[in-house]
Amino acid sequence: MLSEKSILITGGTGSFGKKFVELVLKRYPKIKRLVIYSRDELKQFEMSQQFPLSKYGQIRFFIGDVRDKERLRRALENIDVVVHAAALKQVPACEYNPFEAIKTNVLGAQNVIENCIDLNIQKVVALSTDKAAAPINLYGATKLCSDRLFITANYYKGNRDIKFSVVRYGNVMGSRGSVIPFFLKKCKEGVIPVTDKKMTRFNITLEEGVDMVFYALENMWGGEIYVPKIPSYQIMDIAEAIAPDCKIETVGIRPGEKLHEEMITETDAINTLEFEKYYVILPSMRLWDVDSYRKTFNGKNCPVGFSYGSGKNKEWLTVEQIRQLIKDHVDSTFTVIKSTGEKGARKLSFVQSAESKELEYSAEKEDK
């Protein structure tokens, strides 16, 4: 699929980008060129240590911003496949800096699209988020707009042989700024802040997210929004998995935050097909024969009234499953924080692993 191809990934030094590069080099060693496009010189330097040019001669690092159309165009020359992962993603930051989010997530997306059409790129997959479904915050609204830009690009590409599709998924386990690394840090301070004890979220590992992009690149007809079937978790189960005896402080939902996330709304479901491991939201204006698409991939229509949200999911992670996933995908030395000490006070100790020393940390609190 990607052998002998030249690929560019925007936002390539982020959590997804690093895993994508790792798996591309592992699974497609005959890749022609792999361009990592991002605006952070320090992260590019650090990533170049992980993937040195002496070992991975296909890699090229381009410093640039998706807001800069001309710089982006230069980076895209002679590229076959584009994965667009660059975005401003932090909900509070987007709420307080709205036009900055628009410049990166909307105008930057359009820069990617126009350059890809002009340069005859073959395939483009853009990453989306569950927050783009029925958005209530600016981040979600910008990503919904971005999704629409990429899907509708299929209508005005002319006779060029280029396809645009989108992959949408929920919280990536262990990614920068996500809840698990945050809780791991906070529990060492003795208190885990929880926005709302009823909150739920989708969960996907970085490798699963990359696999969905690989699948889209191999099978896309153009215009699809791919939504993988992934489990949900209760936010309190995350706290229980990490430190069952740690104090929980309810701090309230942040600006622009939902209690439960959606990936497919009831309205979207009208134009959605279900497959074994994923859903596809179809383009509202038909680009190809839907019956042929359904038969090719062995799918079926979603029932009337269907929606896909984290609070009503069929698959849920247990506390033990969460602990194992943390060890497998976040911190291989993770061990549950347990309480010790006399009644009336708790001393929390955090052991990294059987081979490592105990971290010098303790927190005492009165039982009420």
Q: Where are the domains of the chain?
A: 6-169+204-230+262-312
Taking the C-alpha atoms of residue 36 and residue 342, their distance in angstroms, rounded to an integer, is: 54
Q: How far is CA 292 from the centre of its chain?
A: 30
As given in the structure block, the two tokens for residue 254 are 């942040």
Q: What is the pLDDT of residues 57-94, one digit of tens each?
A: 999 999 999 999 999 999 999 999 999 999 999 988 99
Q: Which pLDDT does position 350 carry in this prediction?
A: 42
Residue 353: its pLDDT value, please?
Answer: 39
- Report the chain's mean pLDDT, rounded to a whole number: 91
Note the pTM of the prediction, 2 decimals.
Answer: 0.90
Q: Which of 322, 240, 226 is nearest to 282 (CA)?
A: 226
Q: Which two tokens stand for residue 272?
A: 């959605």
- pLDDT at residue 17 in the model: 96
* Residue 207 identity (one-letter amino acid): E
Q: Is the pLDDT of residue 362 over 80?
A: no
Residue 356 has pLDDT above 80, yes or no: no
Both tokens assigned to 234: 């209760």
Percent of the chain at pLDDT > 70 equals: 92
pLDDT at 287 over 50: yes
pLDDT band at 364 (very low <50, low <70, confident <90, very high): very low
pLDDT at 344: 39
* Residue 94 DSSP SS3: helix
According to the model, what pLDDT value does residue 1 have? 82
Identify the three-state secondary structure at position 214.
helix
Instruction: In whole angstroms, give the CA distance from residue 334 to residue 322.
Output: 11
254-273: average pLDDT: 93
Helix (H) or strand (E) holding 345: none
Active-site residues: which are they? 131
Which token pair is 106? 């909307």
Contact 218, 265 (CB under 8 A): no
pLDDT digits (tens, 9 = 90+) for 289-330: 999 999 999 999 999 999 999 999 999 999 999 999 999 999
What's the pLDDT at 339? 59
Banded model confidence at residue 212, pLDDT cuts 50, 70, 90: very high
On the question of pLDDT at 342 being above 80, the answer is no
Percent of the chain beyond pLDDT 90? 82
**Is CATH 1.10.8.10 the classification given to domain 6-169+204-230+262-312?**
no
Beta strands 300-301 and 278-281 are unpaired
Position 360 scores a pLDDT of 36
Q: How confident is the model at residue 104 (pLDDT cuts 50, 70, 90)?
A: very high
Mean pLDDT value of segment 163-181: 90
Q: Across the strands, what pairs with 169?
A: 129
Contact assessment for residue 44 and residue 38, using Cβ atoms and an 8 Å cutoff: yes
Q: pLDDT by residue (tens digit) across 118-151?
A: 999 999 999 999 999 999 999 999 999 999 999 9
pLDDT in tens, 175-202: 877 899 999 989 888 899 999 999 999 9
pLDDT for position 176: 76
pLDDT at 257: 86
Overall average pLDDT of the 17-28 stretch: 96
Cα of first residue to Cα of last residue in the chain, in angstroms, is 60
Of 281, 282, 190, the closest CA to residue 242 belongs to 190
Q: Which residues of 140-166 are buried (b: 16+ CB within 10 A; e: fewer)?
A: bbbbbbbbbbbbbbbeebeeeebbbbb
**Position 368 pLDDT exceeds 50:** no
Residue 343 confidence (pLDDT) above 80? no
Residue pointed to by tokens 């992260």 = 43
